[in-house]
Every structure is written in C-alpha cells, then in structure tokens.
C-alpha cells in the first residue's frame, strides 16, 4: 500500500513577519528538518495564496497563507534484507542495535548488500518516515565492521536531526556518552590518561588513518586500565576502557597504536604483534585467532531522547569471543 502525500496549511501572524519561509515552516512542522523543508520549497511544494514559492529565503508577511505538500518518501536505495538483529530498544523515533563484529553498517564499495542498513530497512518497514525525503534509517554514528556493540539509529527526520546534533557535540555539553572496552598489547603507562593527537589519512596509504602533525583533525581519547594480564608492569596485555571526546575514523585503534599498545587482533594497526600472539599459551592463542577483527566493543551508549529529552543509557556485555579472550588472558596471571 503506497503512502499518500501530506498537505499542511498555515497563516502568518504578526509575530512571524519578516521571517524566512524555511525557518517559518520549520517551526510549524517540527517533524521535518529545516533542510528537508528547504528542499521541498525549492522543488515547488510550497504555495502562497495560490502561487508557487520556490525561494526558501522568501520573507513571509502577516496574513500570508501557505500550503505545503509533502510527497511520499521515496523507497530506500539499498534493498531490504531480512537478517537477525539484536534490538536493545525501539520506539517510533529510534532503534538501538547491539551490532555483532563482522557486520558493515552502511552500504559502500565492496559491501552493497548484507549491511545493517539493509537489515534495518527490512526490520523497520513503514515505521521509517522518510529522512531527507527517502525512506531510510538515519545513521548518526558508525562502528567499524569488526567492532561490536551499541549503535543508535533514527527512524524519523526530527529524531535524525536531534541525534546528529548530540553526536556532533560529542557529549561536551549534553547527555551523550560513548564508552568502549578494548584489549590491547602491553600495559599503557600511565594506567589512566588522555591521548590528544590529530588524526588524518595516512599519506601514500589512504585506506589507513594515522596521527599527523599537520593536516589531521583534532582527536581526543580518554582511557583507563581495568585489568592487566601477565607480569605486573611488564604485562602481556591489558583490558582498558575508552571514552571518546571526538569521533574520528579508527580513533581508538590509531591512538592506542600511537602510544605503543595496539588492539589485539588489529591487523591494520597492530600487525607487528603477530609474533607476540604466537608466544601466548594455547588457550589464549585460540581465543585471539577466533577474533573477527580487533578486540573492541562499544559497551555503553547514553543520549537524550531526541523527542522527549529523557536521559537514556544502554549497556552491552562482552560478546562471546571477547569474553573468551578475557578468560584466557586472565590465566596468564
């Protein structure tokens, strides 16, 4: 069954006089982002007293009557694919997923199908109201393919806009919290600290990120050691907790490798530690070889609900492969 287009009508009051049309409509229609309404105006979906207005910066006047038509959201470009999902929470505005390692979040070159977005389109169906005019889930943050853990996705335009603003702020002034558990080689010194080092594409190897003195984007990672495995200060490995103050690509992986403690199982930034893994006891070697990728799990996610403002917090236990890694490393003590 196809969705019918929606019609809205408004009259400008004295208080609205002189305001831009797109701003006026954004206040009247909070379920739609301003950028979406701006596009609708440009596409000829707004009429003022019977004539089409295509200028978003048109200044409204008292007594003006506007009609806005919102066409049905276009079908999502990625095709829906039914896949099992671990749904932690869901309502009309958003969905929180506990993503397994090995699942790509968004379709891209080399992964056009079998992604979380494909699965969400199938799972959410008509509850996706159309973000930016397309019936699709609103991805406001991502996890690497090999990283497991909590991910929040918007189902409406308004939720997408509000969540995106929280993630852009990185929790500096709001309720956003992102915490990760990682298993790294060695024992970071000090045991608790902050890594401030700009990150950008590695010159001459653009598929990798790197700490750069010039040209990188500011990146801040706070870490704290939760457990050491092995001989005290010379520990073989450690379990750490990381909190992000910025959200750069591969940030935790790059920062920990930068201070000499790459993540266990990270073939991109910790390839030089293969010989160290080979010297582990048999049980630990088995646990490391069973990892899909780097030993990194997004275990805590907190944010303000985009519509109600209520504080929301979710926690995810370690997945089976990381729990087995922790158990095997604990035997080193």
From the list 64, 98, 144, 157, the catalytic residue is: 144
247 neighbors 193 (Cβ within 8 angstroms):
no
Assign residue 201 a region: left if phi > 0, alpha if psi is -120 to 50, beta otherwise? beta
296 neighbors 252 (Cβ within 8 angstroms):
yes
Q: Is 98 an active-site residue?
A: no
300 neighbors 177 (Cβ within 8 angstroms):
yes
Q: What tokens were used for 250?
A: 């591969």
How far apart are alpha carbons 80 and 78 in whole angstroms? Answer: 7
Question: What residues are annotated to the active site?
Answer: 144
């Amino acid at each position: 069954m196809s969705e019918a287009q929606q019609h809205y009508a408004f009259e400008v009051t004295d208080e609205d006089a002189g305001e831009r049309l797109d701003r006026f409509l954004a206040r009247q229609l909070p379920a739609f982002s301003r950028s979406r309404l701006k596009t609708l105006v440009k596409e000829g979906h707004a009429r003022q007293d019977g004539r089409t207005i295509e200028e978003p910066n048109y200044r409204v006047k008292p007594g003006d009557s506007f009609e806005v038509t919102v066409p049905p959201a276009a079908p999502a470009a990625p095709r829906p694919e039914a896949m099992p999902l671990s749904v932690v929470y869901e309502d009309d505005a958003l969905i929180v997923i506990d993503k397994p390692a090995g699942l790509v979040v968004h379709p891209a070159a080399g992964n056009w199908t079998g992604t979380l977005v494909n699965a969400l389109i199938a799972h959410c169906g008509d509850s996706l109201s159309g973000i930016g005019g397309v019936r699709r889930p609103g991805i406001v943050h991502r996890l690497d393919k090999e990283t497991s853990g909590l991910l929040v996705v918007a189902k409406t335009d308004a939720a997408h806009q509000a969540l995106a603003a929280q993630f852009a702020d990185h929790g500096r002034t709001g309720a956003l919290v992102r915490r990760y558990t990682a298993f790294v080689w060695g024992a970071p010194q000090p045991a608790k600290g902050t890594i401030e080092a700009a990150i950008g594409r590695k010159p001459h190897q653009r598929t990798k990120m790197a700490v750069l003195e010039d040209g990188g984007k500011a990146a801040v990672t706070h870490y704290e050691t939760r457990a050491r495995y092995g001989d005290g200060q010379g520990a073989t490995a450690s379990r750490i907790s990381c909190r992000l103050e910025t959200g750069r690509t591969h940030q935790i992986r790059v920062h920990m490798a930068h201070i000499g403690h790459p993540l266990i199982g990270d073939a991109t930034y910790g390839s030089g530690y293969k010989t160290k893994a080979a010297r582990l006891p048999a049980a630990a070697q088995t646990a490391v070889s069973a990892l899909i990728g780097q030993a990194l799990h997004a275990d805590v996610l907190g944010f303000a609900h985009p519509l109600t403002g209520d504080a929301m917090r979710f926690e995810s236990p370690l997945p089976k492969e990381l729990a087995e890694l922790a158990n095997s490393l604990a035997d080193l003590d």
